Structure formats: C-alpha cells, structure tokens
Amino acid sequence: MTQARPTPGSLLISPQDHALIMIDFQSQMAFATKSIDAVLLRNNAALVAHAAAGFGVSTILTTVAEKTFSGPMFNEITEAFPRQPLLDRTSMNTWEDGAVINEVNAIGKKRLVFCGLWTSVCIVGPTLSALDQGFEVYVIADACGDVSEEAHERAMDRMVQAGVRPMTSLQYMLELQRDWARTETYDMTTGIAKKFGGAYGLGIIYAKTMFGAS
C-alpha cells in the first residue's frame, strides 16, 4: 500500500531548483498590451521580481531593442535587481540570443520559469524552444500579457498543450515560501504581498493591524 509522507512533490518549485527569465517588460511592449490591466501587470511583475530577488532565485532579465525602440524595463523589476545587467536582444525569440543562452548554461538549471510581454511571441518562442531541448518549463500567466485576451489565451493553450506548466504570480511567491514556519523569509514574503499582492495584501495589513497576526 502506498504510504503518504510529509514531503513536497517533485513538481513544486523551490528557490534553488530553477532559473527565472523575465522578458521584455518595457514601455513600448506594454502600450499595446490589452489582455491585462497595466497596473495589475506591473504589480504582478514586481511581485515576481521581488520574490525571486528575496529568495535568491537565479534570474535573467532581458530586453529587446531597449535603446532604439522598446524603452527601459519596468523600474519595479530593475529595483529588485539593482546590479543585474539587462541582456538586450534583436531577436524576438529570446532562445535564439547567444548571450541569453550562455547565461542559461552558466546557471545550469533544467527547470525554467518564464514571464514577459507578449505571450504569443516573446514567451511562446523561448518556452517551446526550451521544451524542445529537454528543459522543464513553467510560465507565470498573469505576469504575461498580449495585444488581446484572445492572443494571450491561445498562446497559453499552445504552450500548455506542448507541456508548459502554467502558474500565477502570487502562487509563484507562495510556492517559494511554502511554509509559514520558515521565519527567515516570513517578513519578506508578507511584506512583498502587502505592497504588490492586491486584496490578499490588504488582508495581511488588516490582520496584522487589527489582531497582531503573525
């Protein structure tokens, strides 16, 4: 008979077992993004970035035509990684950029988590390419966006059908924390949630203020 054990499943992510790749969170890309509200997109991207930085996740930040067309990466992301270089590309498919692939290989993780703009181009390209080369791939769906809801949803469908595992920004952070008894990251996690976690963050503020919850 199978015996249950109090251990996490192998499909759950941890801070040490993956690399995060944040792609093209730039002004020009955001202007045409209609599948998600711009404020929510920025909050979700910030939550992911600050969680990854706080938990020490190996992270790659990449832009496309930063100086000539697309503009700077969201400051909510770059402020989480103040000394992190941005890898600027010409290719729409991040996986076809040599500098990015060199960084992926240097990090050496077989599990990759992606988010960025736009879902149907900048995320579909590298995720399907990484899957083809044997990587395990996750996409943070609500930290991605596209020119329409249809474009975003069909892109997510295409990736999931190919084997990509979808998740959300808050889920990503809470999966890194996973146990509230991990006191060394408790204040950081709840602090990020209070700042970027929407209604969930308001609930934490209320509980701590009214009842001294911890």
Residue 162, CA distances (Å) to 13, 95, 115, 120, 134 in order: 20, 17, 17, 14, 12
C-alpha to C-alpha distance for 29 and 20, rounded to whole angstroms = 20
Say if residue 144 is exposed, middle or buried (CB neighbours under 10 Å; 0-12, 13-18, 19+): buried
Could you give the 3-state DSSP secondary structure of residue 209? helix
* pLDDT tens-place string over residues 64-104: 977 788 889 999 999 999 989 999 999 999 999 999 999 99
pLDDT tens-digit readout, 8-48: 999 999 999 999 999 999 999 999 999 999 999 999 999 99
- pTM of the entire predicted model: 0.94
| CATH match of 19-181 with 3.40.50.850 | yes
Alpha helices in 79-123 (DSSP H): 98-107
Domain boundaries, the chain: 19-181
